[in-house]
Structure 1
C-alpha cells in the first residue's frame, strides 16, 4: 500500500482516542465508589499503565505481520478452520459491544434530553447515522474522527466552569487510604471503561509509518485517554461527597447541573450534547471492524456493514425489552473483552515465538 493511501500518525491518534472515550467515563466515578473511593484516580492511572504494557504486546505481534490485518494474522497462525472460528468470536465481540454502547447511549439520551421519545426511535436514529458513516473508507472515517476531536477542547472548556463550585480536597486525601487491594480492584473497573484501543489491531497495515513510530503514536493516545479519564474522576471526587457519588449514576454529567448563568443555563445538557459525538464514533468503528472480522464472507463491505447494523439494532431491541437482562448483557460483554482483547493477542504472540511464525517484512 502506498504512503499516499495510508493513515497518518495524527489520524491513527484520533481513531484510537475517539474509540476509547465513550459512555464509561460518565459513570466511572460512581463505579469506583464500591472499591477505591477517593483513590479512584490512582486506579485509572494503574489501568493506563497496564494498557500501555499491553499495547507493547500487541505491537510486538503486529510488527511480525506488517502487511496483514488482524483477522489474516489469526488465520496465518491458527490455520483456516480454527482461525475462521476465532474470527467469528471476534466478530461477535464487536457486534455485542456496538449494541451495548447503543443501549447505554439511548439510556443517557432518554434520561437527560429526550424524556418522552421512545427508546427504539433514539436507537434507530443513532444506528442509521452510524451506518451512513461506517460504510465509508477507513481514511474518511479517520478524517471525520480528527474533525470531531476538536470537541474535546469544548468539553475541557465547559468542565473548567466546575471550579466555580465548592470543592473539598479532603475527599482525595490522604492518598492511599483505600488500600492496595481496593485500588487494584478499581483499576479493573477502569480498564473496562477505557477499552477501545483494540482498534489498533486493524490499523497497523494501513499506517504510513510503522515500527517504533507506530508504538509512540498509540502510546500518546493512551496517555491522553488515561489523563482525560483521571481528570474527570478526580474532579467528581472533589465536588461530590462519597454518599452522593454512590447515588448519582452519571456524576460527570451532574457536576455541571448546579451552575447557572444569566445568558447560559443547563451546562450539563450542553455537555451531554457534545459527548454524544464520541459515543457515535465508538459505534461507527465497531460496525466497521465487525465487517472486517468475517474474512470468509464474500461481498461488498457496505452490504456487510448494513447487515451488521441490523444485527446490532435487533440485539438492542431485544435487550431493551427486559431491563433485568441488561446486567447479564454487560457481563457477557465484559467476559468477551477479556478473551478477545487481552487473552487472544497474548496467545497469538506466544504461538509466533513457539512456531517461529511471521509475515513478510
Structure 2
C-alpha cells in the first residue's frame, strides 16, 4: 500500500481519518436505538456514549508516548508472546473485517429500500467492494486525503436537516430527564456500538507526523462525532417524536423528505446518494485496517495482496446478514462480543506495557 511504513499523515488527516471511521451507515438509524430506552432524552445518551472512544483514545495516547513506533500488534507479541499475541491480534483484526461486511450490507439494504429497489444485492456489493478495495489498496495517505475531501460534503449534509426545525415542536423533547437517569445510561450503552472505530488509533499512530497531537486529534474527532449523533437524534425527536420515529427503518432519511428545494422532486434521493459517499469512505477505512492488520499478522503477504484476498471473504460475509431488521439483530449481538473483547484486549496490553520494563522488553 504505497510502502505504508514510510507513509506519514498530518494531524488534520489523522483527525478526519478517525472521524470517518466513526460515522457510517448506522448514523441513519441511531435515533431509534436510543429512543427505545431513553425516549425523549435519547439525545443525552449520545453525549454519554462518547466516554467509550475517549477512553480508548486516552489509552492510545499513553501507548504512543511509551512506544511511538510500535503499534498494538507488535506490543501484543512483546507482552504475551508470539503465539498468544498472534491469536489475540487475529481476533482483533476480525473486528474490522466484520465491520466492513456489515457496513456494506447496511448500505445495500438502505439503497434497496429507499432508492434503488430494482438492484440486486450482489450488484451493489460488487460496486462497493471494487471502490473500497481500490481505495484501501492505494494506502493510508490517499485515504487520508479522501477523508479531508469528503468531510466538507458530509458537513453540508449534516447542516441541511436544520430545515426540520420549522416543522417540529419542542414539546416532543419534554420533559427533559423525564425518562430517568438509569434509562439514559442504558441508551448510552447502545450508542457505544456506533462509536466503535477509535481502536484504529492503536495501529495508525506510528504514521502520525506530530505524535504529541494524537490526543487532540482524537478528542476533536470524538467531539464532532458526538455532536453529529446528538444533532441527528435531537432533530429526529423534535420532528417525528418518540412514537413515530421507531416506525421508520432510517428516520434520518425522513428528515431529508422535509427539505423542500425548488425543481427537485424529492431531496431524499440526493441525500442518500451523497451520504452513500460518506459511508464508502468509512468502509474504505475498515477495509484498509483489515488488510494492514492481516499484513502485520502474516508479514510474507503484502497488504496489496490482502486487498485482493479479502474481497471474496467480505462479499460472502456481507451476503449472510439478510434484510435490515435481521442484520441489526445479529450485528448487535456480535458487536456486544467485540466491544467487550476490544476493551479487555486493549486494556490488558496497556497494563502489561506499563509494568513490563527493562532493556530486553524494550528491544524485542
Q: Any idea what the Cα deviations from partners look like across 1:183-239, whole Å, max 9, x if unmatched?
A: 00100111111221222112211111113x211111111111101110111011100
**1:171 is aligned to 2:172:** yes
Cα distance in 1 for residues equivalent to 2:49 and 2:178: 18
* Corresponding residue of 1:348: 349
Q: Structure 1 residues 265, 158: CA separation in 2 closer, same or farther (over 3 Å shift)?
A: farther
Tell me by how many angstroms 1:322 deviates: 11
Structure whose residues are more often helix by fraction: 2
Q: 1:29 deviation in Å?
A: 1.0
* Cα RMSD (Å): 2.3
- Is the CA contact 1:71–1:292 (under 8 Å) kept in the aligned structure 2? no
CA distance in 2, matches of 1:345, 1:282: 22
1:280 paired residue number:
280
Displacement of 1:330: 3.9
Structure 1 consecutive aligned stretches of length 4 or more whose deviation exceeds 6 Å: none
Cα distance, 1:325 vs. partner? 7.0
Cα offset for 1:326? Answer: 6.1
Q: In 2 relative to 1, CA 157–50 (structure 1 residues): closer, same or farther, beyond 3 Å?
A: closer
2:255 paired residue number: 255
Aligned equivalent of 1:126:
128
Determine the C-alpha separation between the residues in 2 that align with 1:312 and 1:229: 27
Choose which of 65, 68, 71 in structure 2 pairs with 1:66.
Answer: 68
Q: Give CA deviations for 1:74-121 in whole Å, capped at 9, x if unaligned.
A: 112111111111111012111111111111111001111111111111
Could you say which residue in structure 2 is the equivalent of 1:145? 147
Q: Which moved more, 1:178-187 or 1:193-202?
A: 193-202
Distance in 2 separating the partners of 1:329 and 1:30: 15
* CA deviation after TM superposition for structure 1 residue 323, in Å: 7.8
1:188 is matched with 189
Contact preservation (8 Å) 1:39, 1:178: yes
Q: List alignment gaps of at least 5 residues for structure 2.
A: none
- Deviation sequence 1:276-310 (CA, Å, 0-9, x none): 12211121111111122233421221111111122
Moved more, 53-62 or 133-142: 53-62
CA contact (8 A) 2:68 2:205 kept: yes
TM-score relative to the length of structure 2:
0.92
**Structure 2 Cα separation of the partners of residues 231 and 72 of structure 1:** 39
**What does 1:1-361 align with in structure 2 at a 5 Å threshold?**
5-164=7-166, 166-211=167-212, 213-294=213-294, 295-297=296-298, 298-320=300-322, 327-340=329-342, 342-356=343-357, 359=362
Change (3 A) 1:359 1:151: farther
Q: Residues 37 and 183 of structure 2 are in contact (CA less than 8 Å); yes or no, is this contact kept in structure 1?
A: yes
Confirm or deny: 8 A CA contact 1:28 1:233 kept in the other structure. yes
Structure 1 length as normaliser, TM-score? 0.92
Change (3 A) 1:322 1:59: closer
In the TM superposition, what whole-angstrom CA distance separates every residue of 1:40-64 from its partner, at most 9, and x where no partner exists? Answer: 1110111113432332122212322
Q: CA 1:111–1:152 in structure 2 vs 1: closer, same or farther (change >3 Å)? A: same
Structure 1 spans left out of the alignment, 5+ residues: none
Distance across 1 between alignment mates of 2:266 and 2:339: 36
Paired residues of 1:167 and 1:238 also in contact (CA < 8 A): yes
Contact kept in structure 2, 1:259 and 1:265, CA below 8 Å: no
Q: Distance in 2 between matches of 1:322 and 1:42?
A: 26
1:336 Cα deviation (Å)? 1.4
Report the Cα distance in structure 2 between the residues aligned to 1:282 and 1:261, rounded to whole angstroms. Answer: 28
